[in-house]
Amino acid sequence: MSANIIDGKAFALGLRERIAAQVANFVAAAGRKPGLAVVLVGEDPASAVYVRSKGKATVAAGMASFEHRLPADVAQDELLALVDTLNADPAVDGILVQLPLPGHLDELAVTTRIDPDKDVDGFHPVNAGRLATGLEGFVPCTPLGCVMLLKDQLGDLTGLDAVVIGRSNIVGKPMAQLLLKESCTVTIAHSRTRDLSSVVKRADIVVAAVGRAEMVKGEWIKPGATVIDVGINRTATGLVGDVDFAGAASVAGAITPVPGGVGPMTIAVLLRNTLVSAGRREGVAIDEVAL
């Protein structure tokens, strides 16, 4: 058996085209562009690459991109003051503070300072609570992108056994919430899980969000299962995911590659959330079903 390779890059490009079409409608109705502000603290090269590609994708979709670069030793108060300014700026519909932040800065304090209605990352506790209780809000981009790929691949997810490996607030936990919303039977595994391979073996859907290169082995995968690899690990041989791709691809029904799988979806969903935010803030209808 050889798995279908899920082309997240192609899916993300299609999504970005559909977003761009609705951005044009928004501009005609509201008389301004949706705006995304991205804040980068320090000079971490990987973060700088992400921020640059987010800015390019934002402009390509017809939106306004506001980039703010602060020195690595910026004071917490100064960063919070910038967030306050962006919260108050009517041209800004979405605010993203690139994580991780340098160690002297309090990530929770910064995340919590962002207006929940401009929190296009979906990291604010208010948005986590909205997701958990079924209220409208913003859903973290990476898990939402994973669900889009899963539904495109499998259709209705009802009743499927899903295992999420990882329980972070930005990937694992919201991923589990979204799969629950799709009526999957959800198991969340983590570093204290006993016999991880047996837990994974019963899953129709495996989402790996661990941050350990090629940790999930092909022998753990149930034949025909769908495997979503969120991991981004830089190794001597290049970029690899959390799943042993060659091993898993020989038993899975479908699998996302790294690169070219989940990563491009994260950026496309960020643009989606920014457009949705702009529509809510201006009272302009966005056709979310068509996105």
Ligand X SMILES: Nc1nc(=O)c2c([nH]1)NC[C@@H]1CN(c3ccc(C(=O)N[C@@H](CCC(=O)O)C(=O)O)cc3)C=[N+]21
| Interacting residues with ligand NDP (CB under 6 A) | 142, 165-168, 170-172, 189-193, 196, 209-212, 230-233, 262-263, 266
Is 54 one of the annotated active-site residues of the chain?
yes
Q: Annotated binding residue at 170?
A: no
Pick from 101, 159, 89, 120: nearest CA to 267: 120
Q: First vs last Cα of the chain: how many Å apart?
A: 33
**Which region, judged by CB under 6 A, interacts with ligand X, from 20-28, 74-82, 91-99, 196-204?**
91-99
Tell me which of 33, 54, 118, 222 is the catalytic residue: 54
* C-alpha dihedral, 237 to 239 to 196 to 168, nearest 10°: 140
CB 70 → ligand NDP: shortest distance, Å?
Answer: 21
CB 67 → ligand NDP: shortest distance, Å?
Answer: 19
149 binds ligand X (CB under 6 A): no
Q: Which is nearer to ligand X, 100 or 224 (CB)?
A: 100
CB 93 → ligand X: shortest distance, Å?
Answer: 16
Among 48, 239, 284, 291, binds ligand X (CB under 6 A): 239
Q: Annotated binding residue at 168?
A: yes
CB 84 → ligand NDP: shortest distance, Å?
Answer: 26
127 binds ligand X (CB under 6 A): no
Q: Annotated binding residue at 65?
A: no
Tell me which of 121, 204, 229, 242 is the catalytic residue: 121
Residues numbered 242 to 281 that lie near ligand X (CB under 6 A) are 258-260, 263-264, 266-267
Q: Which residues are annotated as a binding site for NADP(+)?
A: 166-168, 232
Q: Which residues bind ligand X (CB under 6 A)?
A: 49-50, 96-99, 121, 141, 232, 239, 258-260, 263-264, 266-267
Catalytic residues: 54, 98, 121
